[in-house]
């Protein structure tokens, strides 16, 4: 069994051991089996960095990001996009949800 200290000492070549440790944390409920980090009103920043920390990256929804279903931006002025975003949040239930307010409107 791996300890935290031994995990920190692992090199990139030891990815199998990292996977083993990650799987153990998931089984113990200490790590999510799905979406760990998502963000809204933000381009992928924190969610993009999540995998480096052993977390499962989720979605990033912003006017500058594209909805993969229709190839259009996540424009919340459009009611169907707002509803779709709400449903996505409910369905994926990220453990950490980062909301970055629009500072230009303040």
Identify whether residues 89 and 52 lie together within a single domain.
yes
Please compute, for residue 9, the number of CA atoms within 13 A of its CA located in the half-sphere on the CB side: 5
**Within this chain, do residues 12 and 47 fall inside the same structural domain, yes or no?**
no
Q: Which residue has the higher pLDDT, 3 or 79?
A: 79
Task: Evaluate if residue 1 carries a pLDDT over 80.
Answer: no
Both 22 and 74 in a single domain? no
Q: How many domains does the chain have?
A: 2
Residues near 31 by beta carbon (within 8 Å), at least 6 away in sequence: 22, 25, 54, 55
Q: Domain range for residue 3?
A: 1-31
Q: Do residues 63 and 82 share a domain?
A: yes
Does 77 have pLDDT greater than 60?
A: yes
How much is the pLDDT for 2? Answer: 47
Answer yes or no: do 69 and 86 share one domain: yes
* Residues 58 and 88 reside in one and the same domain: yes
Q: Are residues 43 and 26 in the same domain?
A: no
The order of strands in the sheet holding 57-61 is: 57-61, 37-40, 96-99
How deeply is 39 buried, as exposed, middle or buried, from its count of CB atoms within 10 A (0-12, 13-18, 19+)? buried
pLDDT digit string, tens, across residues 24-76: 776 776 665 568 888 988 888 888 888 888 788 889 999 999 999 999 999 99
């Amino acid at each position: 069994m791996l300890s935290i200290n031994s995990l920190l000492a692992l090199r990139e070549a030891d990815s199998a051991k990292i996977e083993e440790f990650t799987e153990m944390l998931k089984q113990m409920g200490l790590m999510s089996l799905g979406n760990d980090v998502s963000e809204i009103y933000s381009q992928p920043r924190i969610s993009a960095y999540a995998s480096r920390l052993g977390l499962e990256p989720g979605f990033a929804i912003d006017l500058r990001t594209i909805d993969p279903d229709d190839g259009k931006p996540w424009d919340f002025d459009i009611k169907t996009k707002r509803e779709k975003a709400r449903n996505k949040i409910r369905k994926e239930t990220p453990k950490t949800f980062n909301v970055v307010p629009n500072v230009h409107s303040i």
